[in-house]
C-alpha cells in the first residue's frame, strides 16, 4: 500500500477505477432504477432473515461520512420477541395519544392516503427492528468526546441503511414514534445516546399493497445554475 505522511498523519493512496462516460451513464441509471423500486412497506412476513444480512446492512450504513469521522451512531438490532412486544406496546401507547389528540387535523389528512394509524403490528411481525441512536457525544474511558454534525451524520447513515436494505431485497418502514424516549429505557441506552429512527426490516408480506403515489419529476426538484 502506498503511504504518505501529510502534516504528520498517515495517508494512503486513493485508488478507484475511473469509468468511461458510457459506464458512468449506465452505472447511475442502473442505481437510480434500483432505488426507484424502493417503497416503504408496512406489512411484513415473519420469515426469519440470516443474521449476516443484517450485519452487512449495518456495516453498509456505517460507511456513511460523519463529522470529523466520529461515527456518532449505535444500531440496536432487535430480534427478541419479548423486546419487540415491549417496543410495540410502548409505541402504540404514544401513537394512540398522537393520533387522537396530538396531531392536528391537517397532518392526519396528509397521512390518510398512506393508510397509517396508531396500530403498529410491524413492530412484532418484522423479524428484525433496527433502532438507530445518535450519540450527542462519545465516551471513551469515562472521557467525553466531542461529536459534530450529529443529526446530519446519522441521517446520512440512515439513508445508506435504507438503500442497503432495499438492495438486499428486503423492505423497511422508517418509523418515528413520537416521543420515542421509551426506546432508551427498553434498550438500556446510556445518556449520550438519543433515539433517532426505528426501522423494522424483513420480507414484504406475500400479498401487500402500497399507496399509488408518485415521486416529484426532475424539473420540480432540480434548479440548474
Ligand atoms: N409517527 C406516526 C405518524 C406518521 C407521521 C408521518 I410525517 C408519516 O409520514 C407517517 C406516520 C406513525 O408512525 O404512524
Report the nearest-CA residue for atom 11 of ligand 1: 116
Domain boundaries, the chain: 41-205
Position 178 pLDDT exceeds 90: no
CB atoms within 10 A of CB 184: 16
**CB of 176 closer than 6 A to ligand 1?**
yes
pLDDT of 21-56, one tens digit each? 999 999 999 999 999 999 999 999 999 999 999 999
Mean pLDDT of the chain: 97
pLDDT of 87-105, one tens digit each? 999 999 999 999 999 999 9
pLDDT value for 184:
98
pLDDT value for 51:
98
- Name the CATH superfamily, with its identifier, for domain 41-205: NADH Oxidase (3.40.109.10)
**CB of 116 closer than 6 A to ligand 1?**
yes
pLDDT value for 1:
81
Q: What percent of the chain has pLDDT over 70?
A: 100
Report the nearest-CA residue for atom 9 of ligand 1: 111
Q: Which of 103, 176, 200 to mutate to test ligand 1, by most ligand atoms within 8 A of the CB atom?
A: 176
**CB of 178 closer than 6 A to ligand 1?**
yes
Distances (CA, A) of 221 to 40, 215, 216, 217, 218: 21, 10, 7, 7, 5
Amino acid at each position: 500500500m502506498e503511504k504518505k505522511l501529510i502534516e504528520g498523519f498517515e495517508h494512503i493512496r486513493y485508488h478507484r477505477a475511473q469509468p468511461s462516460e458510457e459506464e458512468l451513464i449506465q452505472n447511475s441509471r442502473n442505481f437510480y432504477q434500483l432505488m426507484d423500486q424502493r417503497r416503504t412497506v408496512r406489512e411484513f412476513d415473519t420469515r426469519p432473515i440470516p443474521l449476516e444480512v443484517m450485519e452487512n446492512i449495518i456495516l453498509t450504513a456505517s460507511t456513511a461520512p460523519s463529522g470529523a469521522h466520529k461515527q456518532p451512531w449505535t444500531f440496536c438490532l432487535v430480534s427478541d420477541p419479548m423486546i419487540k412486544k415491549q417496543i410495540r406496546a410502548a409505541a402504540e401507547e404514544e401513537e394512540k395519544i398522537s393520533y387522537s389528540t396530538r396531531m392536528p387535523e391537517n397532518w392526519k389528512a396528509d397521512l390518510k392516503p398512506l393508510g397509517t394509524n396508531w396500530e403498529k403490528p410491524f413492530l412484532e411481525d418484522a423479524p428484525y427492528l433496527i433502532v438507530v441512536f445518535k450519540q450527542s457525544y462519545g465516551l471513551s474511558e469515562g472521557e467525553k468526546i466531542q461529536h459534530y454534525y450529529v443529526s446530519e451524520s446519522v441521517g446520512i447513515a440512515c439513508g445508506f441503511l435504507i438503500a442497503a436494505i432495499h438492495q438486499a431485497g428486503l423492505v423497511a418502514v422508517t418509523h418515528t414514534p413520537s416521543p420515542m424516549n421509551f426506546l432508551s429505557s427498553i434498550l438500556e441506552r446510556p445518556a449520550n445516546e438519543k433515539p433517532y429512527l426505528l426501522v423494522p426490516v424483513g420480507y414484504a408480506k406475500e400479498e401487500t399493497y402500497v399507496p399509488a403515489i408518485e415521486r416529484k419529476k426532475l424539473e420540480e426538484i432540480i434548479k440548474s445554475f
